[in-house]
């Protein structure tokens, strides 16, 4: 969902090699093993999950991203990505921006989506239709709480304009409807999955498009 990089992380005299993952609202580090230098630690000692809200100071210098949280400072050697990650942490995109809803867009909503998201759409989109796909729709949002809701995907794929995108919004961590279920339903309808976004604390959004050769 986020951007993942191999790097070395350090806190004080402790350091480890592993994978740093920049998510929507947190920075995660999962160690892969000690780098074998003085001060190296075992993988379990430097496992980090730092919410943006806990960060007191963030800076990038000479390819190193430094994050202060609590009384600790974590440094991540990520090279050219240091400044990019700093900017993403300090100026995170809104949910509407991450979902690609541009000002004045034509949007179709199918199924009950959270009220706060509908308000965000109303403030950004030019036109919102419910249930039936608009002829000029640029984005379609389908609320899928159960497997039975995925049946609608085939009909929506037939109705949507060739260059439109279809977002499926489904619950996180539910065995009754999984990411694999959503991907399988979209591909069965002849579409291609192209992007995943953390929609909320409880839901994920997965985007499908009609392949260029089928438009």
Whether residues 55 and 71 share a domain: the answer is yes
8 A C-beta contact, residue 68 and residue 60: no
Domain boundary among 37, 69, 90: 90
DSSP state of 169: E
**C-alpha to C-alpha distance for 129 and 105, rounded to whole angstroms:** 11
Residue 41 has pLDDT above 50, yes or no: no
Domain boundary among 44, 62, 90: 90
Whether residues 162 and 99 share a domain: the answer is yes
**For the segment 44-94, what is each residue's pLDDT rounded down to a tens digit?**
578 899 999 899 999 999 999 999 999 999 999 999 999 999 999 998 888
Residue 214 has pLDDT above 90, yes or no: no
Residue 152 has pLDDT above 60, yes or no: yes
Whether residues 118 and 204 share a domain: the answer is yes
For position 206, which CATH number holds?
A: 3.40.50.150
């Amino acid at each position: 969902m986020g951007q993942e990089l191999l790097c070395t992380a350090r806190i004080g005299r402790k350091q480890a090699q592993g994978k740093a993952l920049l998510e929507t609202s947190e920075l995660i580090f999962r160690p892969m093993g000690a780098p074998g230098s003085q001060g190296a630690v075992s993988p379990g000692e430097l496992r980090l999950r730092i919410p943006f809200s806990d960060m007191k100071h963030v800076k990038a210098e000479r390819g190193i991203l430094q994050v202060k949280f609590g009384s600790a400072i974590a440094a991540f050697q990520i090279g050219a990505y240091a400044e990019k990650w700093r900017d993403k942490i300090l100026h995170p995109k809104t949910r509407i921006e991450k979902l690609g809803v541009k000002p004045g867009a034509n949007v179709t909503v199918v199924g009950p989506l959270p009220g706060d998201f509908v308000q965000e759409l109303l403030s950004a989109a030019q036109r919102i239709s419910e249930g039936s796909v608009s002829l000029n729709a640029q984005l379609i949002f389908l609320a899928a709480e159960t497997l039975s809701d995925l049946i609608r995907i085939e009909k929506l794929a037939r109705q949507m304009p060739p260059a439109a995108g279809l977002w499926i919004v489904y619950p996180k961590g539910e065995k009754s409807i999984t990411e694999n279920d959503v991907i399988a339903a979209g591909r069965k309808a002849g579409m291609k999955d192209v992007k995943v976004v953390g929609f909320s604390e409880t839901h994920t959004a997965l985007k499908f498009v009609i392949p260029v050769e089928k438009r």
